[in-house]
Amino acid sequence: MKHTAAVVASLIVVFCFLQLSVLGDEDKIFGGTLATAGQFPFMIHLFDKSFGSHFCGGSLIGPLHILTAAHCTDGWDMSKILVYDNSLVVSQTVDDADARVPIEAFYQHPGYDGYSYETHYDITVVKLAKPFLASRNMKTIRLASKRINEGTMINVAGWGEVESGSQSNRLLWTRIPVISIDVCRTHNGYEGVIGASEVCAFALDKDACFGDSGGPLFTGSEDRAVIYGLVSWGDGCGEHPTVYTKVSAYYDWIVEKTTHTVKTDCEGCSTIADWRDMCVSIGGTYKKTSASYRCSDLNVLKTRNIDYSWSDCSNSLVKDLCKQIGVYSCVDNVAWCSPL
């Protein structure tokens, strides 16, 4: 989480705090409870190979896409960053090849300005080079398309600083109430820097803290969770509200950045009907050209409910398409494509 002084006096002060938050975020949720296995299957953490440490959190919103904060990705060298799964103990994932995936690309919001909180836009979509293995018990979290009401109890989870300020590798979580923007602005230094694209939550001694940046503010658990915000910034931990990037304010932008095209070359294919039907069933646009079959406008956010089956497990086209948007399996020559 980015931290600001009680009064944001200058852009230089803000930049200094930004650098401290990104480079020094290595601990856990403040006033939190230990998470259990499978409780938050959408949680991921970002790992910097240069420093050999966790530095930010994030959420799996599609088989190949992560949502995190822009201040976590600002100035990134992708070759030095890995995305790790929701293993409860961070130290156990470092040498586990199945728990980590490299990054293919990231889309930091073009409006983000790391020198000033007043520009907002603290959001990034990360595209993975490959999906996590199905055996890792990873599942996606739903995106909120509407604001959340004040007073709602909501969850925050991550690998950030605890009360003692010491390093803890355990995934922790806590519940806090959403407060209004007006109430949030009454805190010294917050007035004028909180906008409609943000949401605030606050409970004394329960909070996101250093290292939780980019992690989700969400309701529910397991496959019923909905993400409403991303840990962005605040003044202290458990003393003042934390400001979160409001996901619903960027819903259309997220859809745009997670929509992609799958192009499959195929000559003389006789089973293309299955591939076409699957493309249409997940909201894609099917088109046949002279040398290829293309599924365009494939919105990965709409693939959570896919449960498509076909009788021929040798259909490589459908298998390849499934791997773009879900989990492929074959039992007794019946092939299935299920959501991650």
Q: Catalytic one among 21, 59, 168, 213?
A: 213
Top mean-pLDDT range of 9-13, 118-122, 329-333: 329-333
Our answer to whether residue 122 is catalytic in this structure is: yes
- Across the beta sheet with 53-62, the strand order is 100-101, 81-84, 43-48, 53-62, 65-68, 124-128, 103-108
Contact 134, 63 (CB under 8 A): no
Q: Catalytic one among 122, 207, 235, 274?
A: 122
Tokens found for residue 197: 């694209």
Our answer to whether residue 187 is catalytic in this structure is: no
pLDDT at residue 269, rounded to an integer: 63
* Residue 165 pLDDT class (50, 70, 90 cuts): low
Predicted confidence (pLDDT) per residue in 199-241, tens digit = 999 999 899 988 899 999 999 998 889 999 999 999 888 899 9
Number of H helices, E strands in the chain: 6, 22
| Pick from 88, 126, 117: nearest CA to 214 | 126
Q: What is the dihedral of CA 166, 87, 70, 215, to 10 degrees?
A: -70
Contact 269, 313 (CB under 8 A): no
Burial class (CB in 10 A: 0-12, 13-18, 19+), 78: middle
Our answer to whether residue 213 is catalytic in this structure is: yes
A 10 A CB-CB count for 326 gives: 26
Q: Catalytic one among 45, 54, 71, 240?
A: 71
The structure's pTM equals: 0.83
